[in-house]
Structure 1
Amino acid sequence: MPHTDLLSTIPATMRAIALLEPNEQIELSELELPVPDVVDNELLIKVEYVALNPVDACFAKQGFCKWEYPHILGLDAVGVVVKASKGVFPSVGARVMWHGNIGEQGVLSQYAKVPNFAVSQVPDEVNLKDAATLPCAGMSALVALDKLQLTEGDSILIEAGAGAVGQFAIQFAKQRGATVFTTASKRNHKLVKQLGADVVFDYTDKKLSDKIRKELGPQGFDAVLDSIGGETTVRNVELMRFCGRIACLNPLPKFEQELMYRRAPNIGIVSLGGAWLANSLCAQQRMSFMGNLLLDNLASGNIKIPQISDVEFSTKSISKALNRQIDGGFTGKQVVKINHE
């Protein structure tokens, strides 16, 4: 489509799904807001799809210290560049994917702005809806595996293997030559096995730790990707070898001093939002590079994406979907198709 055609179709206002204030029920409002202005290296994107994440639901309930209300929710989006300054790449007409700035307005709107260095260009052979599933879960998995310095021959425990982060982590861990242990409900054992998991445990098993030790032997895990937190993190440190490595996606619990001395774990924290909150240009650019890696793997058939559930662009549907994200047992990705009519 010619650039002039795209520019001529940009309206003055847009529909957006916003949070008027944090609330336990995640009650949302539809607002008519001005289309964002873009300057310098910013891109104006016509948003096509937005993928929902547990973090969206958690902060909708609790709020976030950097938010101003009403706050547009959503962090993961794909769409088409409709406005960019001369010489800024990607140019008008490009299809892009990104994980947004948690400290600013989100992407559940018909248009959004984002710095050009934080987006990844979507290859023609990749469906935009499929691409929307990648940013938060895929990037979190990659950051975690990098922090774990995972190499060929390592043993790794990936918690919640059927969750979106877990599904990507299993596949990339196998690419790196690791032996993958994971936890999942019995109904999802077949799924995680198909993704490459070598050994699967039922996370509801009351003798889980004993069964892991029996399967693993006395040496303990080289690495753990912990997406659960709390007492699960304490248990996982206990299951690691001395000076093993653990990457945590949730706040750390209080550890007993004796456990820290006995295991001396290398603890890494995974925070995509930190790339924005720390104002780290390098970290923001790295998200673009990780996005390219995810898209290349998807285009080449080297990774499979979680099963997609479609969500309507309405307050009721999105509220229901966000509550579903944290009710437990959800294994796919919920994707909102943004309605431009």
Structure 2
Amino acid sequence: MPNFETSAQQTIPNTMQALALSEPSDAFTLSEMTFPIPQCASDELLVKIEYVGLNRVDAIFAQQGFMPWKFPHILGLDAVGVVVKAAQGVYPKVGERVMWHANIAQQGVLSEYAKVPNYAVSVVPDNISAQQAATLPCAGMLALICLDKLHLKEGESILIEAGAGAIGQFAIQFAKQRGADVFTTASKRNHKLVKKLGADFVFDYQDKKLCEKICKELGPTGFDAVLDSVGGEATNRNIELMRFCGRIACLKPLPVIDNGLMFLKAPTISIVSLGGAWLAKSLCAQQKMSFLCQFLLQNLSENKIQLPQISEVKFEQNSVTEALHRQLNGSFTGKQIVKI
């Protein structure tokens, strides 16, 4: 058995409180439940959770469930907290604040404690608060992975769907860092926000003449790249707006794409998944998530990126259930985080 070091400032209990899903449904609700404290392997850290960032995917899985899950299941994937137990010689050590995107196949992080492999976390710098760090993992990493898969270069044009969402806000900023011309869609009330983040052209996603107006600004060549976070019919429309052999990164399952359109545009299509890093048991991919989170923290620490507006949610079953339903209906702009 490995030798573990624990926090001298607190006694680790035998049980913890968590918010768990008894069964998935469209009218899902979470319940406050008691679970045993997770038992750690030699390469795992026990973390006392401070904040959990909520994502739309949390709400989708609350509706639909996920095949490997056994119920009741603790929801939540993005966590920030302090290491309270670690094997001797393992880094990060006890007392360090860390953030990570959790293994989707295991229990989530809407709980007082959680375990995580030490190689999958990033240490949060002292000049970044736990609240700020909680906004970063899922949305920030998806934005970065999409731009990497798109091989976005200086001077190229990119369409970023849903620019006012958390993924879109990060993607706009990182695309501008790479010197791209950024086109984005958003509701009219958020046009000022996305322009402030660096978008060069903004369009109302509800405009019936959306394609016509985009083509007027873009010209005849088409987009070099598209970040498609919407899916469905928008994917076909976005491929039509691309240049020949353009690139598209998709965050949603692919719809049926017309064969003639595929032949006409010959697009390079990339699928982006964070959960796959865990499901495929890819140690390299899990470590890469740690590196990406470190990059996000560095950019924030150096004031190179702005965060979405933060809304704090109580660690209470009704409050978090309502917050997850808000993730689905799009009734807010920003990032919801739960204070544990």
Structure 1-normalised TM-score? 0.97
Aligned counterparts of 2:7 and 2:166: Cα–Cα separation in 1 = 39
Aligned counterparts of 1:232 and 1:89: Cα–Cα separation in 2 = 44
Matching residue's letter, 1:145:
L
Structure 1 residues 132, 11: closer, same or farther in 2, change over 3 A?
Answer: same
Aligned counterparts of 1:263 and 1:39: Cα–Cα separation in 2 = 50
Q: Which residue of 1 aligns with 2:114?
A: 112
Q: Which residue of 2 aligns with 1:217?
A: 219
Q: Which residue of 2 aligns with 1:196?
A: 198
Q: After TM superposition, give the deviation of residue 40 of structure 1 in Å.
A: 1.2
Task: Tell me the SS of whatever aligns to 2:329.
Answer: coil
Is residue 206 of structure 1 aligned with residue 185 of structure 2?
no
Is the CA contact 1:14–1:32 (under 8 Å) kept in the aligned structure 2?
yes
Unaligned runs of 5+ in 2: none
Q: After TM superposition, give the deviation of residue 228 of structure 1 in Å.
A: 0.2
Q: Which residue of 1 aligns with 2:81?
A: 79
Q: After TM superposition, give the deviation of residue 305 of structure 1 in Å.
A: 0.6
Aligned counterparts of 1:3 and 1:37: Cα–Cα separation in 2 = 13
Unaligned runs of 5+ in 1: none
Task: Tell me the SS of whatever aligns to 1:38.
Answer: coil
Q: Which residue of 1 aligns with 2:318?
A: 316
Q: Which residue of 2 aligns with 1:63?
A: 65
Q: Which residue of 2 aligns with 1:240?
A: 242
Aligned counterparts of 2:75 and 2:270: Cα–Cα separation in 1 = 27
Aligned counterparts of 1:275 and 1:75: Cα–Cα separation in 2 = 13
Q: After TM superposition, give the deviation of residue 62 of structure 1 in Å.
A: 0.5
Matching residue's letter, 2:8:
D
Identity of aligned residues (%): 68
Q: After TM superposition, give the deviation of residue 3 of structure 1 in Å.
A: 5.1
Q: How big is each residue's C-alpha offset from its partner over 1:46-92, in whole Å with a ceiling of 9 and x where there is no partner?
A: 00000100000000001001111110000000000000001110000
Is the CA contact 1:49–1:128 (under 8 Å) kept in the aligned structure 2?
yes
Is the CA contact 1:16–1:72 (under 8 Å) kept in the aligned structure 2?
yes
1:113-262 pair list within 5 angstroms: 113-262=115-264
Q: How many residues end up aligned between the 2 structures?
A: 336
Structure 1 residue aligned with 2:273, among 253, 271, 275?
A: 271
Is residue 5 of structure 1 aligned with residue 8 of structure 2?
yes
Q: After TM superposition, give the deviation of residue 330 of structure 1 in Å.
A: 2.6
1:296-315 pair list within 5 angstroms: 296-315=298-317
Matching residue's letter, 2:332:
F
RMSD of the TM alignment (CA)? 0.9
Aligned counterparts of 2:216 and 2:28: Cα–Cα separation in 1 = 43
Aligned counterparts of 2:309 and 2:330: Cα–Cα separation in 1 = 16
Is the CA contact 2:7–2:95 (under 8 Å) kept in the aligned structure 1?
no
Matching residue's letter, 1:166:
G
Matching residue's letter, 1:5:
A
Matching residue's letter, 2:123:
Q
Q: How big is each residue's C-alpha offset from its partner over 1:138-160, in whole Å with a ceiling of 9 and x where there is no partner?
A: 00000000000001011000000
Is the CA contact 1:163–1:330 (under 8 Å) kept in the aligned structure 2?
no
Q: How big is each residue's C-alpha offset from its partner over 1:243-276, in whole Å with a ceiling of 9 and x where there is no partner?
A: 0000000000001100000000000001000000
Task: Tell me the SS of whatever aligns to 1:261.
Answer: helix
Q: After TM superposition, give the deviation of residue 242 of structure 1 in Å.
A: 0.3
Matching residue's letter, 1:42:
E
Aligned counterparts of 1:51 and 1:104: Cα–Cα separation in 2 = 17
Is the CA contact 2:48–2:82 (under 8 Å) kept in the aligned structure 1?
yes
Task: Tell me the SS of whatever aligns to 2:12.
Answer: coil
Aligned counterparts of 2:331 and 2:214: Cα–Cα separation in 1 = 22
Task: Tell me the SS of whatever aligns to 1:83.
Answer: strand
Is the CA contact 1:26–1:322 (under 8 Å) kept in the aligned structure 2?
no
Task: Tell me the SS of whatever aligns to 1:107.
Answer: coil
Aligned counterparts of 2:83 and 2:218: Cα–Cα separation in 1 = 49
Q: After TM superposition, give the deviation of residue 205 of structure 1 in Å.
A: 0.2
